[in-house]
Amino acid sequence: MIAHTLAAPDQRHSMDRLSEALLGYRPISITTLIGEKGKDQKSMLEVDPDALAVYATEDADVTWQLYEKLLPLLKESEQESVFYDIEMPTLPALEAMEASGISLDIFALEEFSDKLATEIENASSEIFNASGHEFNLNSPKQLGVVLFEELKLVDKPKKTKTGQYKTDEQTLTSLAGEHSIIRRILDYRMMTKLKSTYVDALPNSVSKKTNRIHTTFHQTATTTGRLASSDPNLQNIPIRTDLGQEIRKAFVPENAKNKILSADYSQIELRIIAAISEDEGMIQAFQKGIDIHSATAAKVYGVEVDAVEPEMRRKAKMVNFGISYGISAFGLAQRLGIPRREAAEIIDNYFNQFPSIRSYIDDTIAFCRENGFVETLSGRRRYLPDIKSSNQTVKNAAERNAINMPIQGTAADLIKIAMANIHQDIISQKLKSRMLLQVHDELVFELAPKEDDVLKGILENRMVYALPSLNEKVPVEIEIGIGKNWLEAH
């Protein structure tokens, strides 16, 4: 079957993808081998010269040679099932999504661009006024000199590792009380980010042929099994700020009869933590359908769920995020803006209330030290040789990676399986609706008229029940929204 795919001359795109899935990138063309103009493309021979010394005779032949060299590596690392049961079936779904593309309301964006330009101009003027002179606001270096050498906002400014003054959002926010201009600098930063990266750039990505935006999904770019998206990246379209939401609104159906449908997994990483660790308390909270951050707060602070205050919930939420990132008192303290002591106390309370989570963390690190890798529920692996490093900082980083990968990676496995099946269902049921985007825990569709119920049914079936071994441990839930643009579908 593989050989057939490799040999089929009309399946060049699939061949690229197969090689990418096996290798970690697309090595087919000579262009790729020697590097594409203007892009920092990895040369094939940089990856592993011994394992991958092949000869670029003819495209299909290169792919075949790589296949023969890489299949044994797949066997050795016991990841054949990940390849054949998850990655290969996902491949046609990705191909279809890239080919479909998504429509963009470029007129709305042009209008928004003008509005931003005005606001950016206003902010710049105020900032230059307060500074006493003009400078390049896009240069963190120049901004640092203005803030810390000319305006002398603080005695001991924070520095980056190269000795420059730090001017990132966190640093500036902490300085907001020192000078009213800080807020305007933050405004400027946000607006120029939106304008240059999205509002002005995205219309350039609209295909002249299809009039839609076609991203590239990378199947083997990440260490955890997640997808990546590039050229343009459609997995980081703004949503958190009001101005950012204007950009999401510009992602629309092809015509007024169609709708955008978004389906996302609810709290999927926490559900996976609950399932993997088999923590009774957390599983119960999900079974009862209690808001998980409130449930966590109730346990940590020893109060009833109803008595949880917003501040308690906010802290519990950060702890929950922290768990899947490989928590530390320092990291939590920094994000909550509280003393390390207090953060350590919260973490201690947390582990006393969720003892199985502590065991999961300890067991996972021990497993990784023993075996050299960690794995997801589906057997996808990440090798972490640094887990044995004598450098404590390096070792700690590897331990956080070890904790995070099975969680993030299992979520990736789950949605990939769902996508493969949904794509098949769409084809076999001859639906007009199309799967367009994946954003890690969300799938975006173009919904054709009268297909609401059938598509919802498919999603419920395929997304919720993608990994039966997960369903055995914890309820999996999805949320579906429909609207006239991507924002409204949320």
Partner DNA sequence: GAGGTCACG
Partner DNA sequence: ACGTACGTGACCTCG
Interface positions, 171-190, toward DNA (CB under 7 A): 171-172, 186, 189-190
CB under 7 A: which stretch of 231-239, 367-375, 419-427, 472-480 binds DNA?
231-239
Quick check: 244 and 429 in contact, CB under 8 A? no
Q: What is the DSSP string of 283-311?
A: HHHHHHT--HHHHHHHHHHT--GGG--HH
Q: From start to end of 288-386, where are the E strands? A: 373-375, 381-383
Q: Which of 330, 410, 317 is nearest to 364 (CA)?
A: 410
CB of 168 to DNA, least distance (A): 3
Min CB(383)–DNA separation in Å:
12
Minimum distance from residue 323 beta carbon to DNA (Å)? 8
Single out the residue of 16, 375, 441, 446 in contact with DNA (rule: CB under 7 A): 441
**End-to-end alpha carbon distance in the chain:** 40
3-class DSSP state for residue 358? helix
From residue 240 to residue 279, the character string flagging contacts with DNA as x (rule: CB under 7 A) and all else as - is xx--x-----------------------------------
Q: To the nearest whole angstrom, how small is the minimum distance from the Cβ of residue 269 to DNA? A: 9
C-beta closer to DNA: residue 431 or 439: 439
- Of 285 and 443, CB closest to DNA: 443
CA angle 367/370/376 to nearest 5° reads 35
* Contact assessment for residue 259 and residue 451, using Cβ atoms and an 8 Å cutoff: no
Tokens 């960690």 identify what position? 374
Q: Which residue has the tokens 């963390």?
A: 361
* Among 83, 61, 62, residue whose Cα is nearest residue 72: 83
The amino acid occupying position 54 is V
Show contacts with DNA in window 27-46 (CB under 7 A). Answer: 40
Q: Report cis status (omega within 30 of 0) of the bond before 232.
A: yes
Nearer residue to DNA within complex by CB, 66 or 444: 444
406-435 binders of DNA (CB under 7 A): 408
Q: Is 84 in the site for DNA (CB under 7 A)?
A: no
For residues 135-174, which are near DNA according to CB under 7 A?
136, 138-142, 144, 160-162, 164, 166-172
Task: Please name the amino acid found at residue 218.
Answer: H
The nearer residue to DNA, 6 or 323, going by C-beta atoms, is 323
For DNA, the closer CB: 170 or 287:
170
Q: How far apart are CA 224 and CA 234, in angstroms?
A: 19
Minimum Å gap between C-beta 2 and DNA is: 25
133 binds DNA (CB under 7 A): no
Q: Does 52 bind DNA (CB under 7 A)?
A: no
Tokens of 22: 């096996």
Strand partners, 481: 262
Site string for DNA, 353-392 (x = CB under 7 A): ----------------------------------------
